[in-house]
Amino acid sequence: MADTITKPEVKKAEPWFGKKERQLISDPLNDNNPITVQVLGICSALAVTTLVYPSLVMAVAVIFVLVFSNLITSLLRTYIPNQVRMIVQLIIIATLVTVVELTLKAYSYDVYKKLSVFIGLIITNCIIMGRLEAFAMSNKPWKATLDGLGNGLGYGAILIAVALVRELFGKGTLMAGSGAEMKIIGASPDYMINTLESTLFGWYQPNNLMVLPAAALFIIGIFIWIHRSWNPKLVDIS
Amino acid sequence: MQHNTRYVVTFVLILTSVVALLLTFLNEAWKEKMETNEAIFNKKAILKAVATDVGFEVDDMGDEEVLSIFDNQVEQKVYDMDGIELTPEEVLSIRKYKGGQAEFIDMAKEKKLDEDVRLLPMFIFNGDNNKKYYIISVRGNGLWDEIWGNIALENDFTTIAGASFDHKGETPGLGAEIKDNPVFPASFKGKKIYNEAGAFTSVFVRKGGARDPLHEVDGISGATVTADGVSEMMARGIKYYEPIFAAAKNK
């Protein structure tokens, strides 16, 4: 008799990493990307993407905050009083952001100096509040964690892609300021594509427009355009 | 879930207490590390002013290297606005900067005080062949927020040996170029802050390109307000040090 009772329980248990769970990660990368589809978190995407390295740090910081705020909110979801749930979410986010800020200050001071304002602004990043309200408040901790990871990755991927374009064409370098700086295009003898001898990109003058915030706006615009023509599901039928 | 007021208040109190404890603990645990980082960051900014002239790659320097250069080759002095040197004890009696040392003077705080009670930091860098550089700190306003810099003078107190600038919130690609573009600080090298008659001229950032090769540097396109801020900061900030220069020259 005991067997017949336990069997259905085993069937009921949800798989750790089934189709639904995979979708939680893959959806924000494509069909439901926070930046190109939901158009959230644009402020930081415009501000920090002048260089790849700070964008990378920003992406890691946002992923950290998003994963743990989703997890903590989901764990507390039955205890959080409905009247003050927004404030409670904000406290959780602000705490995690402060932890990130202190960690950078103690272990990577240069990056902290470069990103200080924007790290603080993670608190107001709509992606995080949006995920807590829309997902973590009504789902189990493991799913909420995956959702945070997926959205963080979706945000980070666009951030780094924008930064790659802006730094390459704006400065001719990649990863400047990280200690692994690569000089790629432009007219200088120590650039990777040697422009004094070859004529491949010798004419290229770093374009200062790409460093300005306006460039991020139209690069993100172009990304949205590419994303929509590649994924017709996203195009409004109306 | 709807809860009664007592539950809400208790929940919020417990949550904030836990959060406050956690953050206080982290802050205290890392305090020393963060202070060291900040001190090294400031030291690097000061060394950057002489970097081009003595051939330092400040950005590639390890923490140890910065500290040892600072301990062995840099003398720190603090002056009041009349150009009188103050001992660390005197500095401490006026304002509580750590150890009464010039490197811990908070220029942002000094800038808010009345002009006649400010403290002036000076760093004397002893280079090879007994060559001395006098590094002074200046602070002013850019377009969005404060800008500041360290200016290294040669021992004639007239020729600029190098400069480094930083800012709080200038626009990347425009005003932020005063720090990000190495060409801008480098263009100050060799400029004179006094003319041949011995009158104070400072160094001006000229929109459209320098006309006077001795007292002007090229502006940055799209950053006229920040550049004007640099000119104003240099003219005012260096002038504060004039009594000190005069006394040193007469010695």
pLDDT digits (tens, 9 = 90+) for A178-207: 777 777 777 666 666 655 555 566 677 778
Among A74-83, A180-189, B80-89, B187-196, which is the least confidently predicted range? A180-189
A113 and B174: CB-CB below 8 Å?
no
Query: Could you tell me how many CB contacts below 8 A there are between chain A and chain B?
Result: 68
The pair of structure tokens assigned to A85 is 């749930």
Distance from CA of A80 to the nearest CA of B (A): 7
pTM, two decimals, is: 0.80
Q: Provide the pLDDT for residue A191.
A: 67
Asked if pLDDT for residue B156 goes beyond 90, the answer is: no
Asked if pLDDT for residue B134 goes beyond 60, the answer is: yes
- Kindly report the CA angle at A32 between A73 and A49, in degrees rounded to 5? 85
Cα A76 to chain centroid distance, Å, stands at: 24
Test mutation, B22, B37, B60, B145, chain A, max A CBs within 10 A: B37
The contact set of A with B (CB < 8 A) is 50, 78-84, 87-88, 91, 95, 98-99, 102, 105-107, 109-110, 113, 117, 170, 179, 208, 211-213
Q: Provide the pLDDT for residue A194.
A: 56
pLDDT in tens, B102-113: 888 888 888 888
Q: Provide the pLDDT for residue A16.
A: 77
Q: Largest Cα–Cα distance of chain A, in whole Å?
A: 83
In chain B, the percentage of residues whose pLDDT exceeds 70 is 99
Q: Which residues of A touch B169 (CB under 8 A)?
A: 117
Q: Which residues of A touch B19 (CB under 8 A)?
A: 91, 95
| φ/ψ of residue B120, rounded to 5 | -115, 120
Q: Provide the pLDDT for residue A1.
A: 46
For chain A, which ranges sit under pLDDT 50? 1-2, 4-6, 8, 238
CB within 8 Å of A137: residues ≥ 6 apart: A73, A74, A77, A80, A85
pLDDT in tens, B47-75: 988 888 887 888 778 888 888 888 888 88
B33 and A79: CB-CB below 8 Å?
no
B19 and A95: CB-CB below 8 Å?
yes
Facing A208 at nearest CB: one of B30, B37, B173: B173
Report CA torsion sign: A164, A166, A169, A175: negative
Mean pLDDT over residues B200-228, rounded?
Answer: 89
3-state helix, strand, coil in chain A (%, to 5): 70, 0, 30
CA A43 vs CA A123, A162, A220, B238: distances in Å: 12, 13, 12, 39
Assign B20 a pLDDT band (cuts: 50, 70, 90).
Answer: very high
Q: Which residues of A touch B173 (CB under 8 A)?
A: 50, 170, 208, 211-212
Test mutation, B19, B165, B168, B221, chain A, max A CBs within 10 A: B19
| Mean pLDDT of chain B, nearest integer | 88
Cα A185 to chain centroid distance, Å, stands at: 27
